[in-house]
Amino acid sequence: MYKWTMEKVINLEEVYRKLKMIEQSMVTKNELDSALQSVMICSNEDTMRQIKESEKDIKSGRIKRINSIRDIE
């Protein structure tokens, strides 16, 4: 009927070790989401301009400490 041949015998420990190696190099969904958000921010010219302006304001001391929602109003 059927003739089964195995050119190489693989033990479960070797399979487990290789799967662990693959798992270690995989990216999590959270890491991928974070990277995507970073790309979206960096590719938005208006957002990048606002970030640069905010950095200049911070360096120049043009900041206001906000302790509560009332400080914003």
Reported as a single tens digit per residue, the pLDDT across 17-65 is 999 999 999 999 999 999 999 999 999 999 999 999 999 999 999 998 8
What's the rounded Cα separation, in Å, for the pair 36 and 32? 6
pTM over 0.75: no
Contact assessment for residue 33 and residue 39, using Cβ atoms and an 8 Å cutoff: no
What integer pLDDT is reported at residue 52 of this predicted model?
Answer: 97
What integer pLDDT is reported at residue 2 of this predicted model?
Answer: 58
Return the beta strands (E) in the chain as ranges: none
Q: Give the pLDDT mean for 12-19.
A: 90
* DSSP count for the chain of H helices, then E strands: 3, 0
